[in-house]
Amino acid sequence: MEGNCIEIKNLTKKYKKFTLDNVSIDVPYGTVMGFVGENGAGKTTTIKAILGLLAADSGSVQVMGEEAYNMSGATKEKIGVVFDVPPFPPALNAKQMNKIFQGMYKNWDGEKFFKLLEKFEIPTDKKLKGFSRGMGMRFSIAQALSHGAELLVLDEPTGGLDPIIRSETMDILRDFMAEDEKNTIFFSTHITSDLDRLADYICFVHKGKVVFTEERDTLMEKYRILKCTDEQLSLIDKEDIIGMRKGRFASEVLTNAADKYPDIAADVPNIDEIMVYFISKDGE
């Protein structure tokens, strides 16, 4: 399906000590957008704007063609939400929550919900406050996948999970994408290895601003770290230097123009390194 499932244009939201500044992101239908940034970068604020949990000070956020803050109930029905901390009443169990979800979603599929809980080995009689973090997250995902969602919005779905559970979670999300070509995922994380497993696009946000939005494959092909001496560094055009780290005897430069410097040794960076270089100033 063509077009953008999520369109964020010049989104600005000001708080006392933080400003989400002029953020623009497009998420095409049928793709997975990995939204990455350090703690406090603005990931959760952006997700809140997408979900209609806050209104922008300026700019626009459109989800499935509707303005996010005034989304219709029918469109909200198509969005599956997973918060970083499961938001459900801790004193209730899965059976009781099923009844509550029945009253919240017109297309609630209780049968699918309980099948998913069984697959995830989540007990249905146990109070949610007794769940581990992994169990709580899988419960949230089961809920998000049980009402006919076409868009999943996940805020740090794998934070605090062990590698096995993280891998299983990524598998579940891949299965969701395979179900329908228009299914879309927008997930925030600061665990960059999750992006390798799932993301088609990566958007890096830092201190409330988008630093880059790239296709994951292009990202890995586009950038190189040049390891150069001071003499070699002087030969590199300043416009080609995205970020730099100066060492005592050598410097490392992130560039997307490595082809221009075939005589300088170049390494392929990982996503973590690309992010670090993008925000490094004078090479410290």
Binding site for other proteins (CB under 8 A): 13, 45, 48-49, 51-55, 69-73, 76-77, 79, 81, 83, 85, 87-92, 96, 99-105
Tell the smallest beta-carbon distance from residue 143 to other proteins (Å): 9
Nearer to other proteins, 54 or 276 (CB): 54
Nearer to other proteins, 49 or 254 (CB): 49
Nearer to other proteins, 140 or 169 (CB): 140
Tell the smallest beta-carbon distance from residue 91 to other proteins (Å): 7
Tell the smallest beta-carbon distance from residue 32 to other proteins (Å): 20
Tell the smallest beta-carbon distance from residue 172 to other proteins (Å): 20
Rounded Cα distance, 191 and 196, in Å = 10
Nearer to other proteins, 76 or 246 (CB): 76
Tell the smallest beta-carbon distance from residue 44 to other proteins (Å): 8
Rounded Cα distance, 35 and 241, in Å = 24
Q: How many CB atoms lie within 10 A of CB 133?
A: 14
Amino acid type, 11: L
Nearer to other proteins, 16 or 281 (CB): 16
Tell the smallest beta-carbon distance from residue 81 to other proteins (Å): 5
Q: Decide if 168 contacts 239 (C-beta within 8 A).
A: no
Q: What angle do CA 182, 186, 187 make, to 5 degrees?
A: 145
